[in-house]
């Protein structure tokens, strides 16, 4: 059996770093909210997926078998978080004249192209909301049977007053909720924080995506998809749920409310949230500031992995400010790393058994990651190791490959640095001839050849590895 190492994670639910204990020995079930495929992902969204990838890879290195599930939101996500606005895909369809299905397919492909370029491992299960409408209807029915829903104005709502711990993830207090700070745009809501489970009434008329249901033809609300699909693939209680911190107050709060109301027990053990990527205007978003995508960065001459390296340089729970200057730093650090790897590869093969000293670098690197994914610390250990002359080149290579299992910087794909060959074919023929002459003790001929080479602009030198040529400068 593989050894399992202890890991700590910050749990948003308890507001502290906790020892990770899985439900089932050796296995982890992890659900991550996926993209709403009405547009390209911006690099802020991608920061969150990189963080989830680091978590996935670190869990694997700690010895767990990870089942990573991610949804694709292709219906039901409205432009407003409070069930106001219109369906994001429907809006895009109206604006472009393309069908919602074509839009979803196009941006889903674009998303996976980004993920691939960033070396983000594909989740084990990728599930589309539109493929799981029946699972959502079944879950809504369960909620209805337990008295957690009401119908108003044609829509089915979840009533947050039917549970006593609504808002626990965000630490919202009952008084705050009732203070009237949030005013429902939707007059059908009994409580401003009630949310839609099923829409039959859309102020935008006929939707392209509609399904029959016990409550009429319509489409699901956004939150219900994550509850229905995560429970379908991971069970009614699972280990880890991830997302960006903006999901805490509404989306994840509502996911918890409906999931736990339906099952009557705890749903998720660890809630892990990634902080924002910022730009000059604050949180990076599709609507404020420059809409930065990975292809935009690549168009400016960066490699996608420069952006991955940039993200590794910040802890996932701290805000990270994007600038081209900062990206340049990441790019040059990655290039330095790559050229060091190329040089090491030219000189050595990865060592299969490594010294205690080398082992200690590996231990500190993973200790940093196992302690709530401290990537910047892990990177610092890697650089320190590279500068340490008391470990061999073969050991360094071997350590780099282990570290890259989490870093995901394609270090194993870097080619060994080729020694530049000095001198042309004719010069090397002369070198051979001189070697022969020396072997025959014909020193006069050997001297002549040396002079001829000098006239051609080269000095011939004898080294323990044989003769070499140096260009006269």
33 binds Zn ion (CB under 5 A): yes
Number of residues that bind ligand AMP (CB under 6 A): 17
Bridge partners (DSSP) of residue 459 are 470
String marking each residue 306-345 x if it binds ligand AMP according to CB under 6 A: ----------------------------------------
Q: Using CB under 6 A, which of the segments 2-10, 172-180, 282-290, 429-437 binds ligand AMP? A: 282-290
12 binds ligand AMP (CB under 6 A): no
Taking the C-alpha atoms of residue 385 and residue 365, their distance in angstroms, rounded to an integer, is 10
Helix or strand run (H / E) with residue 412: none
45 binds ligand AMP (CB under 6 A): yes
Closest by CA to 285, choosing from 89, 44, 51, is 44
Helix or strand run (H / E) with residue 110: helix 100-117
| Shortest distance in whole angstroms from residue 258 CB to Zn ion | 11
Contact call for residues 245 and 214 (beta carbons, < 8 A): no
243 binds ligand AMP (CB under 6 A): yes
| Shortest distance in whole angstroms from residue 270 CB to ligand AMP | 16
String marking each residue 208-237 x if it binds Zn ion according to CB under 5 A: ------------------x-----------
| Shortest distance in whole angstroms from residue 246 CB to ligand AMP | 5
User: Terminus-to-terminus CA distance in the chain, angstroms?
Assistant: 61
Taking the C-alpha atoms of residue 233 and residue 223, their distance in angstroms, rounded to an integer, is 16
354 binds Zn ion (CB under 5 A): no
Residue 246 contact partner, candidates ligand AMP, Zn ion, none, CB within 5 to 8 A by sort of partner: ligand AMP
- Neighbouring CB atoms inside 10 A of 141's CB total 16
Do the strands 195-199 and 149-152 form a parallel or antiparallel pair, or are they unpaired?
A: unpaired
247 binds ligand AMP (CB under 6 A): yes
CA distances (Å), origin 174, targets 10, 164, 165, 207, 439:
25, 9, 9, 36, 95
The nearer residue to Zn ion, 111 or 302, going by C-beta atoms, is 111
Taking the C-alpha atoms of residue 59 and residue 179, their distance in angstroms, rounded to an integer, is 42
Binding site for ligand AMP (CB under 6 A): 33, 35-36, 44-45, 47-48, 243-244, 246-247, 274, 276-277, 283-285
Binding site for Zn ion (CB under 5 A): 33, 226
């Amino acid at each position: 059996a593989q050894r399992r190492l202890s890991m700590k994670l910050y749990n948003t639910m308890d507001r502290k770093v906790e020892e990770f204990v899985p439900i089932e020995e050796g296995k982890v079930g992890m659900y991550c909210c996926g993209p709403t495929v009405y547009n390209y992902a911006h690099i802020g969204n991608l920061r969150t997926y990189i963080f989830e990838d680091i978590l996935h890879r670190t869990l694997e290195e700690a010895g767990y078998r990870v089942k990573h599930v991610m949804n694709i939101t292709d219906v039901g996500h409205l432009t407003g978080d409070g069930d106001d606005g219109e369906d994001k895909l429907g809006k895009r369809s109206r604006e472009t004249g393309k069908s919602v299905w074509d839009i979803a397919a196009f941006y889903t492909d674009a998303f996976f192209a980004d993920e691939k370029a960033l070396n983000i491992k594909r989740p084990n299960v990728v599930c589309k909301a539109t493929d799981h409408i029946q699972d959502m209807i079944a879950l809504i029915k369960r909620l209805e049977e337990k008295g957690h829903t009401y119908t108003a104005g044609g829509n089915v709502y979840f009533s947050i007053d039917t549970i006593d711990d609504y808002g626990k993830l965000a630490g919202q207090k009952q008084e705050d909720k009732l203070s009237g700070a949030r005013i429902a745009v939707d007059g059908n809501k009994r409580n401003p924080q009630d949310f839609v489970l099923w829409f039959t009434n859309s102020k935008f008329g006929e939707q392209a995506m509609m399904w029959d249901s016990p409550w009429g033809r319509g489409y699901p609300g956004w939150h219900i998809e994550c509850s229905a699909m995560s429970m379908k693939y991971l069970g009614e209680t699972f280990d880890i749920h991830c997302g960006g911190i903006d999901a805490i107050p509404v989306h994840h709060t509502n996911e918890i409310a409906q999931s736990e109301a339906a099952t009557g027990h705890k749903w998720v053990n660890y809630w892990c949230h990634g902080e924002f990527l910022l730009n000059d205007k604050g949180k990076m978003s599709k609507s404020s500031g420059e809409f930065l995508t990975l292809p935009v960065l690549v168009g400016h001459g960066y490699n996608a992995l420069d952006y991955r390296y940039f993200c590794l340089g910040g802890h996932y729970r701290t805000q990270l400010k994007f600038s081209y200057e900062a990206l340049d730093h990441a790019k040059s650090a990655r290039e330095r790393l790559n050229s060091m790897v190329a040089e090491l590869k030219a000189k050595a093969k990865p060592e299969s058994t490594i010294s205690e000293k080398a082992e200690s670098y590996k231990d500190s690197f993973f200790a940093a990651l196992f302690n709530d994914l401290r990537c910047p610390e892990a990177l610092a250990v890697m650089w320190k190791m590279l500068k340490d002359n008391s470990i061999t080149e073969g050991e360094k290579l071997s350590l780099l490959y282990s570290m890259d299992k989490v870093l995901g910087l394609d270090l194993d794909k870097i080619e060994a640095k080729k020694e530049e060959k000095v001198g042309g074919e004719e010069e090397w023929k002369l070198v051979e001839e001189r070697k022969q002459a020396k072997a025959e003790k014909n020193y006069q001929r050997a001297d002549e050849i040396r002079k001829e080479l000098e006239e051609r602009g080269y000095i011939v030198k004898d080294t323990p590895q044989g003769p070499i040529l140096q260009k006269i400068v």
